[in-house]
Amino acid sequence: MPEVVVSIGPQHPALKEPVNFKVIADGEKIVRLELDLSYNHRGIEKAAEQRNFIRVLPLLERVCGICSHSHATVFSKGIEEIMGLSIPPRAQYIRTIIAELERMHSHLLWLGVAAHVIGFNTLFMWTWRDREAVQDTLEEMSGNRVHYGMNEIGGVRRDLTPAQVEAALARLPVLEERIKKYVEMVNSEETMLIRFRDVGKMSREEALKYGAVGPTARASGVDYDVRRDDPYLAYAEVPWNVITDTHGDVYGRTRVRVGELWESTQIVRYCLENLPAGPIRVDAPKTAPKGEILSRYEAPRGELAHFIRTNGTDKVERVDIRTPTLANWTSVAVCLVNQNIADIPVIVAAIDPCLSCTSRLTVVNRVDKVGR
């Protein structure tokens, strides 16, 4: 059979967001992959340069719908470092709680999506049902299910009342039990093993070479987690483990994520039980001194980096957002070669792509008048 070009996207049922793959396939085997990102450039970085530090945070939360807290936290963390502020421990703990709840809801969502792409809709329904518990907790704490709005420069905006802590702790055992079940299912359910094992294999060397981050890299045995290696928030004080796996395939990535789900519940439990007393914020100055910083954060999908340059005003001069999905794309292109066409959605979904967050760059070809 001659090589055929299967064009997937920007509109395709497997992709929730716009991206275009030109898959060059020989029968059912993939020979090559051409990627076309940036269908969804939103100009958030430029918009962020025009808003002061109070007004920029709600904007940055909207970089991504799933990791909204990550973007707000990594930015405020960077600005606070430039300003030389130290955040009260209670604020650190509250940020950690929200961050880990966010990781839980992101990973549960991912598990559902991964099950959905292999047609296992039952697990999809179940994980999304259990995700509701996490979302409800987040809603009770922050007042919203998606954009929590908990961060501000200098601390958090809302305090956790004892009643909220109680309610969250009451929900945790149910979640823990469910997550234990998912760990068991992922390791024993034949229908998932058959589709996830040996699919999209990536060795440790390849993962390092192509700059994979987050669960994708950890599944290939790269023992790297910003939360441990460059501790921020309360992670240095909380006992937890970095989950790694040696399989390197989609199965390994699933195992890493369900493992992290469990760790997240334990971090949330520890933080809720050992929530320090004290103020939740310090007064931050309106302006930041001149400076540059690369602020890093372990978002659910991997290492998220904000490069921030300030110039002594109440606005940033430049903020550059490197989302984890962007770092993982090259690894996808490598993983896909020699795989089955049927495995494209599985491998793509395995990095948990968030495409709109990734669309940072617009190249305008002035001669041909086409934007890319």
**Is there binding between residue 352 and other proteins (CB under 8 A)?**
no
* Size of the residue set binding other proteins (CB under 8 A): 55
Stretch that binds other proteins, among 99-107, 133-141, 235-243, 300-308 (CB under 8 A): 133-141
Angle CA 347–353–359, to nearest 5: 135
Q: Which is nearer to other proteins, 125 or 361 (CB)?
A: 125
Interacting stretch for other proteins, rule CB under 8 A, among 169-177, 181-189, 223-231, 293-301? 181-189
| Sole binder of other proteins in the list 91, 99, 179, 344 (CB under 8 A) | 344
Q: Which residues pair with 30 in a beta bridge?
A: 25
Distance CA 128, CA 315 (A): 39
For other proteins, the binding residue among 170, 294, 342, 361 (CB under 8 A) is 342
> Quick check: 170 binds other proteins (CB under 8 A)?
no
Any contact of residue 338 with other proteins (CB under 8 A)? no
DSSP structure string for 48-76: HHTSBHHHHHHHHHTT-SSSHHHHHHHHH
Can you tell me whether residue 313 is helix, strand or coil? coil
The verdict on 254 binding other proteins (CB under 8 A) reads no
Q: Where are the alpha helices (DSSP H) in the chain?
A: 44-49, 53-61, 68-83, 89-117, 121-142, 162-188, 190-196, 204-209, 214-219, 226-229, 250-273, 324-336, 344-350, 355-358
Cα 267 from chain centroid? 17
Q: Which is nearer to other proteins, 93 or 235 (CB)?
A: 93
**Which region, judged by CB under 8 A, interacts with other proteins, from 8-16, 79-87, 100-108, 200-208?**
8-16
| Residue 185 touching other proteins (CB under 8 A) | yes
In this chain, which of 83, 141, 308, 327 binds other proteins, going by CB under 8 A? 141
**Binding test (CB under 8 A) with other proteins, winner from 59, 172, 208, 242:** 59
**N residues, the chain:** 372
**Smallest distance from other proteins to CB 129, Å:** 6
Contact 297, 103 (CB under 8 A): no
Contacts of 254 (CB under 8 A, 6+ apart): 111, 114, 186, 192, 196, 350
Question: Under a CB-based contact definition with an 8 Å cutoff, are residues 34 and 21 in contact?
Answer: yes
Q: Which stretch binds other proteins (CB under 8 A): 146-154, 263-271, 282-290, 306-314?
A: 146-154
Among 43, 84, 143, 312, binds other proteins (CB under 8 A): 143
287 touching other proteins, by CB under 8 A: no
Give, as ranges, the residues between 17 and 56 that touch other proteins (CB under 8 A).
28, 51, 54-56
SS3 call for 369: coil
Answer whether the bond into residue 300 is a cis peptide, omega within 30°.
no
> What one-letter code names the amino acid at 199?
V
146 binds other proteins (CB under 8 A): no
Only one of the segments 189-197, 208-216, 321-329, 353-361 lies at the binding site for other proteins (rule: CB under 8 A); that segment is: 189-197
Q: Which of 88, 112, 200, 345 binds other proteins (CB under 8 A)?
A: 345
Binding to other proteins in span 94-123, by CB under 8 A: 115-123
Whose structure tokens read 């047609």? 119
Q: Rounded to the nearest whole angstrom, what is the least distance from the CB of residue 195 to other proteins in the complex?
A: 6
For 293, the enclosing helix (H) or strand (E) is strand 291-299
From 30-38, 96-104, 340-348, 353-361, span contacting other proteins (CB under 8 A): 340-348
Q: How far is CA 111 from CA 14, 124, 253, 297, in A?
A: 15, 7, 10, 22
List residues near other proteins by CB under 8 A.
4-7, 12-14, 28, 51, 54-59, 115-123, 125-126, 129, 136, 139-144, 147, 149, 152, 157-158, 164, 181, 184-185, 188-189, 191-192, 194-195, 340-345
